Amino acid sequence: MNTLFRYILIFLFIITTSYAVSSKYYKDKFDTAKSLYLSSVMNGDQNKEIDYLKKMIRYGEKLGIDTLKYKRELNRIDKTTIVKKQIKTTSIIPKKTIYTIKSVVSKENMIIIDFFNNIDKSYIDFFEKKTSKNYFDYFDIKGNYKYAGPTKLSIKNIDRIKIMQLNKKTLRIYLRDKYDIKTIYIINKKQIIIKVLNGKATKKNIIKQKVKVIKPNFLTTTKKTIVIDAGHGGKDPGAVGGRKVYEKNIVLNISRYLREKLRNKGFNVYLTRSSDKYVKLSNRTKYANIKNADIFISLHANAARKARANKAHGVETYFLSPARSARAKRVAALENKGDMGSMGWSSKNSLLTILNRSKIVASNKMAIDIQKNMLYTLRNKYGKSAIRDGGVREGPFWVLVGAQMPSVLVEVGYITHPKESRRMNTKTYQRLIADGIANGIESYFRKN
């Protein structure tokens, strides 16, 4: 009898131990799949999303976890993927086509170039020329356009726009005018947009523009509330430049100047921090929500690795979305690290629920207006070549997650670039960039 009882105890011990080991095994597998799923969402890789969701469901059921929400998400993504695959297989682009540019059109103050394939900044090269009578802006675009010859482009108040296939690999577009043309370009996934910021003007009008005071447009700005977030602060200095120039101090100064500019335009303005104190990322957007803000602007200064510190410079504007470029992912990682470790699964999962909301479209529009006006204001002072256009980009910035209004993150320059860092640390630069952002915000509200 004692022997039988001993065997029963041994058997129960083995069963209990096996169950505990099995539970730990599946728990580890489930946690790993969850982590990799979030990573695939941030990288916009739907195939991996589906793979890791299936694993989460399988391991979750082994653990007795309610997996209904994961099944719903899998069902939603799977349908999207099927549609995408169908579109891909019925593509109208011949595999052996020699043409990479789909269309080139002019519209209002823009020239829009659409490509068949995804593009990046290497697809466009810009330079200027000046003769005794005219100014020229040249755009050399990597690609071949079938209808370059018959295409006619025109923008009001620009004397001439010429398009030509320079060679098999380069499409050239140039603008000619009697006065210095102010242009910028924006790169999207399969599109380049060239924008003209000024039209034809007489010398008399140009002089007037420099001294003209723009009165507040209270019809547009009245009752509009803006929350400005100066990044980092307190124990978190942010990026650090030469001679101990701290990001937290530069963006705080700019936020104060920006508040002043916007109040003069008739806006209601609040700061997430008005002194050198640390504020959690999640509390910044909570504050904007409490204030019922119409828009949320987060200010930051960029940084580059030591190998690129002397080369990387310029201004950039981001809106919330999964990062589609290596640079956007790097910048997002730099800005997210201050508070990301404290975010749980539910906080990270909230990103998924807002990506398709209409505010993302509005945020993109606002980012374009802010970027355009920052460039215009800074280049008027320092010259076009001195201020690099980093463009409008998508990025997974946690400080923007949870904002219930259109929101953008502005990188006001590279604190690691020796010359730009010294410039950013001056009142002149800080006031100018505040001017540009304020004008961009006003432009956004006028159009929307």
pLDDT of residue 104: 94
- 427-447 and 247-264 helices, crossing angle to 10°: 50
Convert the chain into a string of H (helix), E (strand) and C (coil). Answer: CHHHHHHHHHHHHHHHHHHHHHHHHHHHHHHHHHHHHHHHHHCCCHHHHHHHHHHHHHHHHHHCCCCHHHHHHHHHHHHHHHHHHHHHHCCCCCCCCCCCEEEEEEECCEEEEEECCCCCHHHEEEEEEECCCCEEEEEEEECCCCCCCCCCCCCCCCCEEEEEEEECCEEEEEEEECCCCCEEEEECCCEEEEEECCCCCCHHHHHHHHHCCCCCCHHHHCCCEEEEEECCECCECCCEEHHHEEHHHHHHHHHHHHHHHHHHCCCEEEECCCCCCCCCHHHHHHHHHHCCCCEEEEEEEECCCHHHCCCCCCEEEEEECCCCCHHHHHHHHHHHCCCHHHCCHHHHHHHHHHCCCHHHHHHHHHHHHHHHHHHHHHHHHHCCCCCCEEEEEEECCHHHCCCCCCEEEEEEEECCCHHHHHHHCCHHHHHHHHHHHHHHHHHHHHHC
pLDDT per residue rounded down to tens, the chain (448 residues)? 566 656 566 655 555 555 555 677 777 777 777 767 766 666 666 777 788 788 888 888 877 788 887 787 777 766 544 444 444 444 444 444 578 999 999 988 899 999 999 998 889 988 888 888 888 999 999 999 998 888 899 998 899 999 999 998 999 999 999 988 888 888 888 999 998 886 544 333 433 444 344 444 544 555 799 999 999 999 999 989 888 899 999 999 999 999 999 999 899 999 999 999 999 888 888 899 899 999 999 999 999 888 888 999 999 998 876 545 444 445 445 555 554 444 443 444 444 344 435 577 888 899 999 999 999 999 999 999 999 999 988 776 666 767 788 989 999 999 999 999 999 999 999 999 999 999 999 989 988 7
pLDDT of residue 7: 59
Cβ atoms of residues 301 and 412 within 8 Å: yes
Q: Which long-range contacts (CB under 8 A, 24 or more apart) does 186-189 make?
A: 186/368, 186/371, 186/391, 186/392, 187/119, 187/120, 187/121, 187/123, 187/124, 187/391, 189/118, 189/119, 189/324
Counted residue by residue, the chain has a size of: 448
Q: Which long-range contacts (CB under 8 A, 24 or more apart) does 133-137 make?
A: 133/178, 134/159, 134/176, 134/177, 134/178, 135/176, 135/177, 135/178, 135/179, 135/180, 135/181, 136/174, 136/175, 136/176, 137/174, 137/175, 137/181, 137/183
pLDDT of residue 71: 82
CA-closest candidate to residue 163, choices 139, 198, 184, 190: 139
* Structure tokens given for 276: 């050198």
Q: What is the pLDDT of residues 394-421, one digit of tens each?
A: 776 666 767 788 989 999 999 999 999 9
Q: Please state, in angstroms and rounded to a whole number, the distance separating the CA atoms of residues 340 and 300.
A: 17
pTM of the predicted model as reported, rounded to 2 decimal places: 0.51
Q: 388-406: b or e for each residue (b if 16 or more CB lie within 10 Å)? A: bbbbbbbbbbbbbbbbebb
CA-closest candidate to residue 316, choices 244, 265, 241, 391: 391
- 174 pairs with which residues across the strands? 138, 162
* Structure tokens given for 403: 């904002």
Q: Please state, in angstroms and rounded to a whole number, the distance separating the CA atoms of residues 184 and 193.
A: 8
